[in-house]
Structure 1
Amino acid sequence: MSVPAPVPHLRRSLRRFDIMAMGVAAVVSFDVIGQIAAGGGQAITWIAVLAVSFLLPYALLFAETGAAFPQEGGPYVWVDVAFGRLPAALTTMFYWVTNPVWLGGSLAFLAARAWNGFVFPLGSGTTADYVFKLVFIWAAILTAVVSLRRGKWITTAGAAAKVLALAFFTATAVAYGIRHGFRGLTEAHFTPTAAGFLALVPVLLFAYVGFEAPNAAGDEMLDAQHDVPVAIGVSGAIAAACYLLPVAAILSAAPPGQVTGVGGFMDAAELVFGIYGGWRGPLLTAAAVLFAVALLTQGSAWMIVADRMQAMAAADGGFFTRALGAFHPRLGTPVRMNLLSGVTATAFMIAAMHLAHGDASDIFGVVLAVAITTLLLSYLTVIPALLALRLRHGEVPRPYRVPFGTPGFTVAALVVYAWILLGSWVALFPGTLEAAVGIPYNFRAVWGVSRSTFETFTLGTVGLLLAVAGAGYVTQRMRAQPGDDQCQSGPAG
């Protein structure tokens, strides 16, 4: 068995706490909290159900694999070793592109909305709106360009700010409920329904995946084999709490039916901060600034890891030119791939601005659906790769093992794969399963655009990614020199 050769210029600087903080910064998503809360009381039920039936087996799988295969590139290496370079290149393209799409669409739009409403008026589709989103995108890119031993503190600060903001908001919502009554919760319907399940499953899966992301910087960890399992376990527990408690707080305060995906968190904060009297305005402004910064560091955390994955694919001969896989000799970061991510995020932001004529709510929902689709589709290859590595390469030392050995690993992989398959279909073809079981579904009322516009944007994105990834692989294969593969591979660590 061989893996891509170690990358020069890397320094081991990630400790267990850093890995955990990077996982929290990447996975706990401010942008989906409002989207989840829009599902009503049953959202709390499904958060708990998926925490047990999806997040737990998912964390077990990646804790074992991340400790056994800690090479730089993470999931790219796992799919490459399991199935070969072409499947790895295609998988990595979907995993990587999710992040500039998400940064340029969902995160930038949500940050701009909060800034416009509580800090400084930007308008919609104005020059100020464009400038804010451009600054937001490129600030996130620049924080990914700096060396990881410095950049990790940015993501750590973002993770801390995120957890503190959510804790403060939750405590404030409890105080608001004590004073005014928990009318939102008493009127919420917690009984799960098929319609609610199909609406929530893609966004909940999107909210829970990504704990393997720090493994993309595996060669920059001090002790990946022992730190990864613990970091995944701790960050997974923190993430579950950071979704369950704030969603419950939003539902307790916001009037039923008034929670929206794009405005849920800040709209609820605007309501509950009323208990602070004259301090309400300054606190809301501070919360909006913190909200935008947390979103920025969230995008930065994903850029740090996803750009490393795509750079490893390029360096290994799977994406256009090996030059895109070069790591800066002083910074130790894939600067060219970082810049490509920035350009991609900018292009997607401009495309999204024209998608629904500047309607932020419609843009947010559709772009988030695209990001959910591309990320979940990548796991359709990653999960089988984990099982293949377990079955074919049992000789690799595994400091942590899933309970019950290979049978336990296999069951966990099948359960996770079933969830991912369901979530991918619902994200790519919303409304089809509802129609199959007789549940009414008004597409335009849900998404704000027609089905043809939605599918053109989502299926068009998927088709374009497949074409670009395939072209990148073929181009590099045509340019490859004899002996390249041997030069680019090394023994498994």
Structure 2
Amino acid sequence: MSVPAPVPHLKRSLRRFDIMAMGVAAVISFDVIGQIAAGGGEAVVWIAVIAVAFLVPYALVFAETGAAFPQEGGPYVWVEVAFGRPAAALTTMFYWVTNPVWLGGSLVFVAAQAWDGFVFPLGSGTVADHAFKLVFIWAAILTAVVSLRRGKWITTAGAGAKVLALAFFTGTAVAFGIRHGFRGLEGAGFAPTGAGFLALVPVLLFAFVGFEAPNAAGDEMLDPQRDVPVAIGASGAIATCCYLLPVLAILSAVPAGRVTGVGGFMDAARLVFGIYGGWRGPLLTGVAVLFVVALLTQGSAWMIVADRMQAMVAADGGFFGPGLGAFHPRLGTPVRMNLLSGVTATAFMVAAMNLANGDASAVFGVVLAVAITTLLLSYLAVVPALLALRLRHREVPRPYQVPFGTRGFTVATLLVYAWILLGSWVALFPGTLEQLFGIPYDFRATWGVSRLTFETFTLGTVALLLVVAATGYLTQHARARHRDHQGAGGTGR
């Protein structure tokens, strides 16, 4: 078994708490809490179902693999060892690009709306609006550029801000319900339905994947064999609570049908914070600032890990030139890849602002669908790679093992893969399974755009990524062959 060469200039600084905090910062998605709550009471049921039927086996197999294969690059290394460099390069392209797409097209829009509504008016399409979004994107990029020894405290602070804001909001919603009654829950509709399940499954899977992301910095962990399984288990439990309780709180306060994806959390906070009387305004402003900081560090946490993965692809000869895979000798970060992510996020922000004539709700929904699609598609190779490593490389020490050995690992992997297949199809082709099962589905009412616009944006993005990944790999492969040919010619052979 061969793995990519170690990266020079890296320093081990990530302890167990740091890994857990990075997982919390990356995985708990403020921007999808409102989207989930928009599904009504049955969203609570499906959170519980997916937490048990998807998150548990997912955490088990990734904990074992992350502890057994802790090399820098994480999922890229796993797919490369299992299926070869071309498959790994394509997979990592989808995994990486999700994050600048998400940062520039989803997180920044939610942050701008919160800032505009509760901190300082920005307007829509104004100079202030554009300036805020640019500062937000590049602040996230710059926090990924600093050394991980310092940058980890930024993501840790973001994880703390996230948990603090959610806990304060949930407690306030409970106090509001005690005073005024939990009237929102009466019409929430907790009975699960097929339509609700298909609408929620992609966003819930998106919300619960990513606990393996810190493994992208595997060579910067002090003791990954022991710390990764514990960190994944702890962050998974925290994430489940941080989705389930706030969604229940939102539904208890906001009348059914009035929860929106782009403004759900802060709209609910505006209502329940009324119990604080004259303190309502300042407290809302404070929570809005925490909300924006949490969103920014969420994007930063993903940039830290995903840019390292893509840099490893470039350094390993799978994405254009090796210069993109260079790690800064002093900072120990892939600065060039960080900057490429910033440019990509900025370009996607501009494209998103011209989608649906700037309708924030429609933009948010479509761009989030693109991010969900690209991320879930990457797991179509990552998850089978875990099983391939388990079966082909039994000689690798596994400090943590899934219960019932290979059989338990296989069952868990197949269950996770079935969920990923379902989520990928529903995200890429929404409404098709509803039509197959005779479930009514109004595409424009759901997405705010026509199916043609939606599929052009989503399928066009996927097609563009395939072209870029193939071009990047073939370009570097051709350069390597040319160098080998020149070397052979120079020796007279």
Gaps of 5+ in 1: 485-493
2:96 match: 96
Does residue 1:17 correspond to 2:17, yes or no? Answer: yes
Residue identity in the other structure for 2:34: G
Distance 1:205 1:129 in 2: 31
Per the TM alignment, residue 186 of structure 1 is displaced from its structure 2 partner at its CA by 2.1
| Percentage of identical aligned residues | 85
Report the secondary structure of 2:3's partner residue: strand
Q: Does 1:250 align with 2:238?
A: no
- State the AA in 1 paired with 2:69: F
CA displacement at 1:483 relative to structure 2: 9.1
Q: Distance in 2 between matches of 1:164 and 1:263?
A: 19
C-alpha deviation, 1:269, in angstroms: 0.2
Is the partner of 1:397 in helix, strand or coil?
coil
Alpha-carbon distance in 2 for matches of 1:471, 1:31: 33
Query: Residue 70 of structure 2 aligns to a residue in which SS?
Result: coil
Distance in 2, Cα, partners of 1:393 & 1:209: 25
Find out whether 1:281 has 2:284 as its counterpart. Answer: no
Moved over 3 A (4+): 481-484
- Name the structure 1 match of 2:487: none
Question: Following the alignment from structure 2 to structure 1, what is the Cα–Cα distance between the partners of residues 106 and 53?
Answer: 27
Q: 1:369 aligns to what?
A: 369
Once residues 361 and 171 of structure 2 are traced to their aligned partners in structure 1, the CA distance between those partners, rounded to angstroms, is: 28
**Paired position in structure 1 for 2:260:** 260
In the alignment, is residue 214 of structure 1 matched against residue 209 of structure 2? Answer: no
Matches of residues 261-410 of structure 1 in structure 2 within 5 Å? 261-410=261-410
The RMSD of aligned alpha carbons is 0.8
Give 1:370's aligned amino acid.
V
Counterparts of 1:71 and 1:185, CA distance in 2: 47
CA distance in 2, matches of 1:156, 1:243: 19
Match of 1:411 in 2: 411
Match in the other structure for 1:56: 56
SS at match of 1:125: coil
Letter in 1 for 2:98: T
Match of 2:491 in 1: none
CA distance in 2, matches of 1:127, 1:448: 25
Q: 2:474 matched to which residue of 1?
A: 474
Name the structure 1 match of 2:120: 120
Secondary structure of the 1:258 match is: coil
Offset from partner CA, 1:160-218 (integer Å, 9 cap, x none): 11001100000000000000000111222111000000000000000000000000000
Q: What TM-score, normalized to structure 1?
A: 0.98
Q: Secondary structure at the match of 2:128?
A: helix
> In 1, distance between residues paired with 2:431 and 2:5?
45
SS for the counterpart of 1:480 is helix
1:481 Cα deviation (Å)? Answer: 5.2
Correspondence 1:428-467 to 2 at 5 A: 428-467=428-467
Bigger Cα displacement from structure 2, 7-16 vs 124-133? 124-133
1:411-433 Cα offsets, whole Å, 9 max, x none, are 00000000000000000000000
Structure 1 residues 37-186: aligned runs within 5 Å: 37-186=37-186
Q: In 2, distance between residues paired with 1:368 and 1:395?
A: 41
How far off is 1:123 after superposition?
0.8
Indicate the SS of the match to 1:260: coil
Q: For the residues of structure 1 that align with 2:465 and 2:483, how far apart are their CA atoms?
A: 29
Match of 1:145, as an amino acid?
V
Equivalent-residue separation in structure 2 for 1:193 and 1:212 (angstroms) = 31
User: Corresponding residue for 1:491?
Assistant: none
Pairing 1:192–2:192 present: yes
What letter corresponds to residue 414 of structure 1 in structure 2?
L
**Structure 2 unpaired stretches of 5+:** 485-493
Aligned to 1:236: 236
Distance 1:300 1:195 in 2: 34
Shift in CA distance, 356/42, structure 1 to aligned 2, threshold 3 Å? same
Instruction: Look up the equivalent residue of 1:376 and give its one-letter code.
Output: L
Structure 1 CA distance for aligned equivalents of residues 188 and 385 of structure 2: 41
Residue 459 (structure 1) shift: 0.1
Count of residue pairs the alignment pairs up = 484
2:476 is matched by which residue type in structure 1?
Answer: Q
1:3 aligned partner? 3
Q: Which amino acid aligns with 1:467?
A: V
Secondary structure, counterpart of 2:354 in structure 1: helix
Distance 1:431 1:63 in 2: 34
1:357, distance to aligned residue in structure 2 (A)? 1.1
Q: Distance in 2 between matches of 1:436 and 1:47?
A: 24
Distance 2:197 2:251 in 1: 17
- Cα deviation, 1:214-257, whole Å, max 9, x if unaligned, reads 00000000000000000000000000000000000000000111
Structure 2 residue identity aligned to 1:385: A
What TM-score do you get using the length of structure 2 for normalisation? 0.98
Please give the per-residue CA displacement for 1:262-294, whole angstroms capped at 9, x wherever unaligned.
000000000000000000001111111111110
* Structure 1 match to 2:489: none
Alpha-carbon displacement from aligned partner over 1:14-39 (angstroms, at most 9, x marks no partner): 00000000000000000000000000
Alignment partners' CA distance in 2, 1:216 and 1:306: 7
The AA in structure 1 aligned to 2:72 is E
Distance in 1, matches of 2:156 and 2:179, equals 35
Q: Deviations over 1:295-345 (max 9, x none)?
A: 000000000000000000000000001000000000000000000000000
Aligned mates of 2:246, 2:188 — CA distance in 1: 15
For 2:239 and 2:446, the matched residues in 1 are separated by: 27
Q: C-alpha distance in 2, partners of 1:7/1:189?
A: 53
2:284 counterpart letter in structure 1: L
Q: Distance in 2 between matches of 1:482 and 1:41?
A: 60
